[in-house]
Amino acid sequence: MAGQETIGTLMFYAMFPMMAFAIPAVFIGLYFIITTKFRMRLDIILLLILVFLLSTLYKFMIPQEPSGDISGETKVEITLLNENQQPLTNVEIDLGDKPGTPPSGGRQLTNSKGVATFFIKPGKYSIYFNDISFPKDLIKPVDLLQINVEEGKVNTKTIILNNK
């Protein structure tokens, strides 16, 4: 849960400057629209700015619910390496049905060897990364990565990320 608090805090700090500008701009725009005669260009520009600012906040206003609990007994090891075959440490790897908020049991950090170890239920899962904590010097995979987790064996996958 500490990770969610950190993400929430980062989102607040990222959104605060925009909100500090957007809220007064909206009220000023509404004041001018109501109190002055219609000025088509300025009013349309203010309306477009308002729509743009509010549309960027939509993602944060609708909470994303995790898609359940995938915790289980089957061991999955995902190794994360850079293009020089060096392990990438402290990178969050998420597993779930689809990218988004990972379900319970579907979030791990890589260790000093670049390995994230999960204990989950058998099934087919997507592998994805947290946008906020992903290393800035690496290229995030464009294609959706998947792993088929089979019961009774250690399931492994190695992901090699390229530098920017």
Distance CA 133, CA 118 (A): 19
Q: At what angle do helices 40-61 and 2-35 cross, to 10 degrees?
A: 160
Instruction: Record the pTM.
Output: 0.59
Describe the strand order of the beta sheet including 71-82 as a list of residue ranges. Answer: 115-120, 71-82, 155-161
Residue pLDDT, tens place only, 129-160:
988 888 899 999 888 899 999 998 889 999 99
How much is the pLDDT for 44? 76
Q: What are phi and psi of 114, to 5 degrees?
A: 80, 20
Residue with tokens 């990364």: 129
Fold that domain 71-161 belongs to in CATH: Immunoglobulin-like (2.60.40)
How much is the pLDDT for 61? 60
For the chain, which residues make up each domain, given as ranges? Answer: 2-61, 71-161
Residue with tokens 């999960």: 118
Residue pLDDT, tens place only, 7-60:
556 666 666 666 677 777 777 777 776 776 666 777 777 778 877 777 776 666
Closest CA to 163 of 83, 88, 90, 92: 83
Distance CA 42, CA 26 (A): 13
Judge whether 76 and 96 are in contact, CB under 8 Å: no
Distance CA 161, CA 88 (A): 9
